[in-house]
Amino acid sequence: MENDVKQFLESLKEKLASIDYVKTEDIPNIGLYMDQVTTFMDEQLEACKRYENDKILTKTMINNYAKNNLLPPPEKKKYSKEHILTLLLIYYFKSILSISDIQSVLNPLTERYFGNKDGFNMEDVYNELFRLENTESEKLLKDLGKKYILSHETFKDFPEEEQEFLHKFSFICLLSFDVYLKKMIIESVIDEINEKKNTPSKKDD
């Protein structure tokens, strides 16, 4: 069992290393046309694909993000470094949050920091978010190791030939419960943001 855990954690480390987040220094400082943006995103996030034919970002997606006020409009059909950073945040959020929830989270950021010349900008926000990546990755590995061990302690009385699948099923359930709870917490925090935004300030009374 100990060897199984070690192998699992090693394979997980390799997977996490392959999906390293896009660093700001890897993003061009010049404006990119839409085709260049989709190519850049496909290249940088290729390791995040589940299947080879999966699309990271399409022209239709970019247009929809702009239409839903998630992405500020391009300048003369060119997308800046801050556009790319915003698209990356949308990409990370969209697998767990609705478009309206992403709006609630991102719009205050883009309104305050996008294109800001006098102080913090979107690049500063992005760098701050991913500054703790290494620490959080280590915590994640330890937590997954514990869940992996726990999943193999279930279904001990079931037929031996069925246990491999049942252990995997148990592991999936443990992870899903964790995701479910965190998603509920995220949505609760977003609801608080929306409630505060929609509550008139005393100055408006």
- Could you tell me the two tokens for 175? 């992870």
C-alpha 164/C-alpha 167 separation (Å) is 5
C-alpha 192/C-alpha 197 separation (Å) is 8
For residues 118-143, one letter each, b for 16 or more C-beta atoms within 10 angstroms of the residue's C-beta and e for the rest, the string is: eeebbbebbeeeeeeeeeeeeeebee
Examine the pLDDT at 119 and tell me if it is beyond 80.
Answer: yes
Going by pLDDT thresholds of 50, 70 and 90, the confidence category of residue 134 is: low
C-alpha 90/C-alpha 162 separation (Å) is 40
Examine the pLDDT at 194 and tell me if it is beyond 80.
Answer: yes
Range with the poorest average pLDDT among 45-59, 145-159, 182-196: 45-59
| Residue range 118-142: mean pLDDT, rounded | 86
pLDDT on residue 170: 96
pLDDT on residue 131: 84
pLDDT digits (tens, 9 = 90+) for 74-99: 999 999 999 999 999 999 999 899 99
Look up the pTM and report it: 0.86
Tallying the residues shown for the chain, one arrives at 205
- Could you tell me the two tokens for 150? 């726990």
pLDDT on residue 11: 82
Q: Where are the alpha helices (DSSP H) in 19-159?
A: 34-44, 59-67, 81-94, 99-113, 122-129, 133-151
- Could you tell me the two tokens for 168? 């995997």
| Domain ranges across the chain | 1-21+132-205, 22-129
Range with the poorest average pLDDT among 132-136, 153-157, 194-198: 132-136
